[in-house]
Amino acid sequence: MTERTDQKNIDHDSAGLLSLSATTLSSLITGRQVAAAEALDAVFSKIEEREEKLHCYITIDKEGAYRRAKQVQEDIDSGLLKGPLAGVPVAVKDNICTKGLRTTCGSKMLEHFVPTYDAAVMEKLGAAGCILIGKTNMDEFAFGSTTETSAFGPTYHPLDPTLVPGGSSGGSAAAVASGEAFAALGSDTGGSVRQPATCCGVVGCKPTYGSVSRYGLVAYASSMDQIGPLAKNAADCRALFSVICGQDHRDATSVAAVEEKRNFDTFDTADLKGLRIGALMPGTEEENGNGTWKAVSETADRFRKMGAGVSACKTEFDDLLLPVYYVLAQAEASSNLERFDGVKYGYRTKDPMGERDYHEMVKRSRSEGFGSEVRRRILTGCYVLSEGYYDAYYAKAMKIREKIREAYDRLLTEYDLLLGPVMKDPIPKIGESLKDPFRMYSGDLYTVAANLTGHPAISFPAVKDAEGLPIGLQLTGRYFEEGLLFAAVEALEGCRENSN
């Protein structure tokens, strides 16, 4: 083994390592100032300390992680592995298939399901030298925005255990925020990466539809699902995105454009000069009691100081976003979840009635295996697709969706970026949303547009409220311009560091 470089500047205790970003950690690991196993030690000491209370993970694979760290270290030492995320311990949402490691989707239905293959993003993380720590908690089948509908119990907010961490990728967001992982993957169908990232004070990105292969992602609403990174800062998000993006013949909706347009590496924060940003200012300051309004105007000022032009803009169809989204998402979900029949994999009823008749077995398996929120959405989905209602709901929603897409395209020819809120209300208390799911649905107001239109969007912590809880905002960009989103958030991060 060759010599290790100068170690005097690195704090090797776990607190020291955990304070590092994923890309900084990796540069120290590839520079052989820190061992891959040391980074894992730090993460597992944090898990030891906090996991019992936070419940970020459904499954932790400690043995596999150390085995993998040994291999990664060998590849780094022999010069095979050099990438910007080599040796980084990561967490992955439990709806992304991991070969040989159970993948539950937060559901009793898949409690014992062990995939026989890796999702495309897992292959890519593996090739980049990332080390999987475990599978993170989520709302059952990603149906929710608080991580409370998980069949394995909720995840708690890292800063305040009486609050939810957001969802549905709440486990991933809480893991990154608490130091139980250096970075994570989630999936975003209506805000499920951006909203928990906002709650937990980390950066989360929903990439352009089609830029990341969903081979091995358990489907929710296929016309909107995208896998996205959650990380401590925009640079880490950029690095993770550049690892996972790209066309894949196993996902017919993945596109080559993202590879042609790998400009997400070349955008410079200096490019913000002359940038046109449209600020979405919902309602008035009084109406937005959670400080979001103030956050938008303060962030707009920061952008202006960097030379960008910011003006207020309005979106159309705001009232229709949620109805359109929920009609389409539930329709697609009811169709996607039809595959769970108690035959090929997943839960099968033990009820004797189910042993006598096939159809009874399927119905009972599904009714017992799915939680109440999943059953509710399947029923609505079937309703809007059923004869006599299809045109009034599903077909109409598809039509309006196209109008929404056109309206956002028009806006994004006028502006380079759209700045706006992520959340309508303050972070919910544990238990609050389960009592009234409709209130939870209305909380998705600002995030669903990017899923309906396919545009990329990133959420980032902007300010803190009086209690010290993070308030996040969102930037939406043109198709495949993730690079500009990362650069803009990086510029804001830099501006915040300078003012501190």
Least distance to another protein, CB of residue 320, Å: 6
Shorter beta-carbon distance to another protein: residue 175 or 362: 362
Shorter beta-carbon distance to another protein: residue 12 or 375: 375
Asked whether 23 and 235 are in contact (CB, 8 A), the reply is: yes
For residue 108, how many other CB atoms are within 10 A of its CB? Answer: 18
Q: Among the options 21, 26, 46, 93, which is catalytic? A: 93
Residue 192's region, left for phi above 0, alpha for psi from -120 to 50, else beta, is alpha
Shorter beta-carbon distance to another protein: residue 272 or 489: 272
Least distance to another protein, CB of residue 40, Å: 28
What is the helix (H) or strand (E) element at residue 183, kind and residue range?
strand 183-188
Asked whether 389 and 380 are in contact (CB, 8 A), the reply is: no
- Written as six digits, the tokens of 62 are 């400690």
Residues in the chain: 500
| Separation between Cα atoms, residue 343 and residue 361, nearest integer Å | 9
Shorter beta-carbon distance to another protein: residue 1 or 438: 438
- Catalytic residue at 429? no
Burial class of residue 107 (count of CB atoms within 10 Å of its CB; 0-12, 13-18, 19+): buried
- Catalytic residue at 135? no
What is the helix (H) or strand (E) element at residue 403, kind and residue range?
helix 396-414
Q: Among the options 168, 334, 433, 459, which is catalytic? A: 168
| Separation between Cα atoms, residue 277 and residue 418, nearest integer Å | 6
Asked whether 193 and 169 are in contact (CB, 8 A), the reply is: yes
Shorter beta-carbon distance to another protein: residue 4 or 314: 314
Asked whether 402 and 320 are in contact (CB, 8 A), the reply is: no
For residue 393, how many other CB atoms are within 10 A of its CB? Answer: 21
Asked whether 201 and 473 are in contact (CB, 8 A), the reply is: no
Q: Which of 421, 426, 424, 499 is nearest to 468 (CA)?
A: 426
- Catalytic residue at 107? no
Asked whether 44 and 181 are in contact (CB, 8 A), the reply is: no
Least distance to another protein, CB of residue 333, Å: 11
**In the chain, helix, strand, coil percent, each to 5?**
45, 15, 40
Q: What is the CA radius of gyration of the chain?
A: 22
Q: Among the options 14, 150, 172, 192, which is catalytic? A: 192
Interstrand relation of 309-313 and 89-93 (parallel, antiparallel or unpaired): unpaired
Least distance to another protein, CB of residue 418, Å: 11
Query: Cβ contacts of residue 95 below 8 Å, gap of 6+?
Result: 103, 105, 106, 138, 141, 142, 187, 217, 218, 220
Least distance to another protein, CB of residue 427, Å: 23
Helix (H, G, I), strand (E, B) or coil at 16: helix
| Largest distance between two CA atoms of the chain | 74
Query: Cβ contacts of residue 253 below 8 Å, gap of 6+?
Result: 209, 210, 214, 222
Shorter beta-carbon distance to another protein: residue 178 or 288: 288
Shorter beta-carbon distance to another protein: residue 180 or 373: 373
- Token pair 């996205």: residue: 228
Least distance to another protein, CB of residue 376, Å: 6
Asked whether 492 and 299 are in contact (CB, 8 A), the reply is: yes
Active site residues: 93, 168, 192
